[in-house]
Amino acid sequence: MSKRKKSFVRVLFFGAITGILYAGLFFNEPIINALCARGGLYALFPVATAFVFSFAHGNFTNYFWQALGVEAKKGAEKTLRDRPVERKEIRTQLRA
């Protein structure tokens, strides 16, 4: 339950950042269009924008599904934490 609560707080946090980013994009539409159409080294602008948006929004959507309880099949997730525990068990069995 606490995990869900944590996800919920994170959803709100990253949701707010994402919201601000999108608002910034659409309220400054003429400037942004001009920057994109300019070409040349201004190409860095859309590429960097895409990175920033995907970081904020990617985290938001990740915690969004987590908060809703939609998660990967158990056992499919190979976290680094799980592995040493498994190995330890095997070793004790072998010694015995």
Partner 1 sequence: MIELTTNFIDLNWLNVMYLFFVGLVGGLVSGFIGSGGAFVLTPGMMSIGVPGLVAVASNMCHKFPKALVGAIKRAKFGQVDVKLGLVMGASAEAGVLFGAHIQEYIKKTFGDAGSNLYVSVAFVIVLGIVGSYVLLDALKTKDDSQANKPEKITKIAKWIQSVNIPGTMVYFKSLNAKISFLFTIPLGFATGMLAATIAVGGFLGVPAMMYILGAPALMASATELVIAFVMGLVGSFKYAMGGFVDIRLAMIILAGSLFGVQLGAIGTTYVKDYMIKIVMSVIMLVVLVSRGLMIPVYLSQLGVISPLSEMTVKILKSSSFIIMVAALLTGALIICSALYKGLREERKLRRLVELPSSDTVK
Binding site for partner 1 (CB under 8 A): 18, 22, 25-26, 29, 32-34, 36-47, 49-51, 53-55, 57-58, 60-62, 64-65, 70-74, 76-79
Which residue's CB is nearer to partner 1, number 70 or number 90? 70
Which residue's CB is nearer to partner 1, number 9 or number 68? 68
Q: What does the alpha-carbon distance between residue 79 and residue 93 come to, in Å, rounded to a whole number?
A: 23
Residues 6 or more apart whose CB falls under 8 angstroms from that of 66 comprise 3, 4, 7
Which residue's CB is nearer to partner 1, number 9 or number 50? 50
Residues 6 or more apart whose CB falls under 8 angstroms from that of 11 comprise 60, 63, 64, 67
Least Å from the CB of residue 68 to partner 1: 10
